[in-house]
Amino acid sequence: MIRSHLGISAAIIVLVLVTGLIIGGLATSYVFLRKINSLESEISNLASQISHISGNQTIYNQTITIFQNETALAEMYMKLKASVVLIQGETSSGTVQGSGFVYNFTGSMVIVTNNHVVYGTTGLSVTFSNGNGYAAHVNGTDPYADLAVVSVTAAPPEEFKPLSIASSSTLKVGDPVMAIGAPYGLVGSMTTGVVSALGRTITEEEYTGGFTIANIIQTSAPINPGNSGGPLLNYEGKVVGITAAIIEASQGVGFAIPSNTILKEIGALAATGTYRGHSYLGVSGVNMDYFRAVDMHTNVTYGWLIASTVAGGPADNARVQANDILVGINGQRIQDGDAMSSYLEEYTAPGETITLNLIRNNQPLDLQLTLGARPPPPA
């Protein structure tokens, strides 16, 4: 019996030992498996991080490449500077100067500049970037757009390096631009900036008799006296406007005539010397705002408030009345006087019939109006 019990005990001990070994092996395997899984997870995370870093590096390199392409200004300037000229004129009271650029108009090389640069001149010269100067004469002018076309007949063909003109309709606020001209006579100066606003209006009383110059580009590119008439260019080196004016004592507030106006007018200016395509309403008025709306007991705080109409003019004939609020033209919202003038300049012509969207006595009213043409500018 004793031996039997000893045998059973030994068997139990062996079984316990074997079970312990099995459990220990399983536990050890479990630990190793967890470590392996942990290592695999860490390797996977590390691979993901490496991939992410590699992706970021690729994007970073692409960004640098784009930035360099957009700002290769030195090379672009070298290609463009020969196309920009210095214009000098003699007047009864002294001398004037400004800038201009060469343009190929249907095979004829002309200089495009501002009207106010050549206004009242009795003698005119154009000097190219290489210093060669020639006598010039004015082909045509339009004070209502501050545009002029000048010819230089004595210069040899190799002097003319024409620029391309792009559509200003593609411009957006924030687009980078550059201006090249002769500020204060410093020939070949370049400045850069952005398009800071579109659809502005300016007034040059001396030349326009109180009419506005509409659809103007506002830019932060520094412009100074002498820049007038020079090109405003996009970063493809194409003309999108002509620098024309600044607000005195301002910083970075310059104005340019849009290139669409050049393209629309240059044929008439070169062929006939004038342009008569500016639409005319025959009204005067002011911008609407909150306080005018309160005074008028209306909830319309935008638009253009009609103050008066010219007797026998287009608006008078269409029965437009004082205190009508112009809020749209052909269904296009008109926020203020700038928007009205810019719409008329860009999209209409004398003789066309348009629909005025008005508010009269707090009620909407649509009137048909046939546009006239502005009277000739003051001599």
Q: In b/e form, how buried is each residue of 70-100, taking b as 16+ CB within 10 angstroms?
A: eeeeeebbeebbbbbbbbbbeeeeeebbbbb
342 — phi, psi (to 5°)?
A: -70, -40
DSSP 351: T
- Active-site residue identified among 129, 196, 228, 259: 228
CA 41 vs CA 28, 30, 37, 117, 140: distances in Å: 20, 16, 6, 74, 78
- Active-site residue identified among 83, 99, 142, 146: 146
d(CA 45, CA 338): 59
CA 152 vs CA 232, 262, 269: distances in Å: 22, 19, 15
Six token digits for residue 223: 């412009």
Judge contact between 63 and 70, C-beta under 8 A.
no
- Active-site residue identified among 83, 116, 278, 341: 116
Query: Is 228 a catalytic site residue?
Result: yes
Query: Is 146 a catalytic site residue?
Result: yes
d(CA 92, CA 78): 37
Supply the residues annotated as catalytic. Answer: 116, 146, 228
